[in-house]
């Protein structure tokens, strides 16, 4: 039969539990990696799945983001992804998953890491890293040392992706 705990014993147990919860709340298990590439804004990758904080202070512009997704020399996302909300544009590829409902499936931070450097999530992915300069084997000199998208363009695209919900 379980014995009743005395007051002080209970207090000690509660204190231990509280300390444990505080550790969890602090994200004792969260691994934060700081990344700073030459010429790019620094950012933090959390647990190799997310960049929770925006790259810029200025909020993203969803309308501009939609344009960047379509334009071939910028995002060119439709080459690989179907997005029903952009049905008026031709040539939606099916190499990557459909993004029509992406806002219901991923957090903003997860989207940001996918755009900045999807190789962190999947080293074998064929999706381009849009905000990197290291590790890119570009042929054209004019592209060397420049990411495909600027930090603000990444935020614009994320603002657009956040509007993509199949159930509206
Ligand atoms: C060359 C093809 C290609 C291009 C271009 C491309 N992607 Fe991807 N993308 C993929 C593939 C393939 C995946 C599947 C996951 C993987 O490979 O790791 C993916 C995954 C994603 C995911 C995760 C979706 C999920 O449900 O898991 C998002 C979000 C995403 N891409 C957004 C974009 C956006 C936005 C652009 C344009 C800025 C873009 N992609 C351009 C190929 C591409």
**pLDDT at residue 134 in the model:** 75
Instruction: From residue 2, give the alpha-carbon distance in Å to each of 5, 101.
Output: 9, 52
Mutate to test the pocket of ligand 1, among 106, 114, 116, 154 (most ligand atoms within 8 A of CB): 114
Instruction: Compute the Cα dihedral for 157, 69, 92, 129 and give only its sign.
Output: negative
The single-letter DSSP state of residue 40 is S
Instruction: Name residue 44's beta-bridge partners.
Output: 34
- DSSP 3-state of 38: coil
| CA nearest neighbour of 56 among 162, 164, 160, 156 | 156
Query: In what helix (H) or strand (E) does residue 17 lie, and over which residues does it extend?
Result: helix 7-25
Q: Which atom from ligand 1 is nearest to the alpha carbon of 118? A: 18
Fold for 31-161, please state it.
Answer: Cytochrome Bc1 Complex; Chain D, domain 2 (1.10.760)
Spell out the per-residue pLDDT of the chain, length 168, in tens.
455 666 666 666 666 566 556 555 555 678 999 999 989 999 999 999 999 999 999 999 999 999 999 999 999 999 999 999 999 998 899 999 999 999 999 999 999 999 999 999 999 999 999 999 876 665 566 667 789 999 999 999 999 999 999 975
Domain segments of the chain as ranges = 1-30, 31-161
**pLDDT at residue 24 in the model:** 57
Extended beta strands in 7-120, E state: 32-35, 43-46
Residue 124: both structure tokens together: 């074998």
**pLDDT at residue 99 in the model:** 98
Rounded to the nearest 5 percent, the helix, strand and coil shares of the chain are: 40, 5, 55
Question: Which residues form the pocket of ligand 1, taking CB atoms under 6 Å from any ligand atom?
Answer: 69, 75-77, 79-81, 95-97, 99, 102, 105, 111, 114-115, 118, 121-122, 125-128, 130, 157, 161
Mutate to test the pocket of ligand 1, among 81, 103, 108, 149 (most ligand atoms within 8 A of CB): 81
| CA nearest neighbour of 117 among 44, 29, 58, 18 | 44
Query: Phi/psi at 7 (nearest 5 deg)?
Result: -50, -55
Cα 17 to ligand 1 centre (Å): 42
Tell me the pLDDT tens digit for each residue of 34-60.
999 989 999 999 999 999 999 999 999
Q: How far apart are CA 52 and CA 108, in angstroms?
A: 7
Cα 103 to ligand 1 centre (Å): 14
What is the value of pTM for the model shown?
0.84
């Amino acid at each position: 039969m379980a014995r009743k705990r005395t007051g002080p014993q209970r207090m000690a147990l509660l204190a231990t539990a509280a300390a444990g919860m505080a550790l969890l709340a602090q994200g004792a298990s969260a691994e934060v990696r700081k990344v700073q590439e030459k010429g790019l804004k620094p950012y933090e990758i959390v647990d190799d799945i997310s960049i929770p904080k925006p790259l810029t202070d200025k909020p993203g512009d969803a309308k501009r983001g939609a344009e960047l997704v379509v334009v071939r020399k910028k995002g060119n996302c439709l080459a690989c992804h179907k997005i029903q909300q952009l049905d008026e544009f031709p040539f939606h590829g099916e190499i990557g998953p459909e993004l029509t409902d992406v806002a219901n499936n991923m957090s903003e931070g997860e989207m940001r890491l996918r755009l900045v450097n999807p190789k962190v999530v999947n080293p074998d992915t064929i999706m381009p890293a849009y905000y990197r300069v290291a590790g890119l084997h570009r042929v054209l000199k004019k592209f060397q040392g420049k990411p495909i998208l600027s930090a603000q363009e990444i935020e614009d695209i994320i603002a657009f992706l956040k509007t993509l919900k199949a159930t509206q």
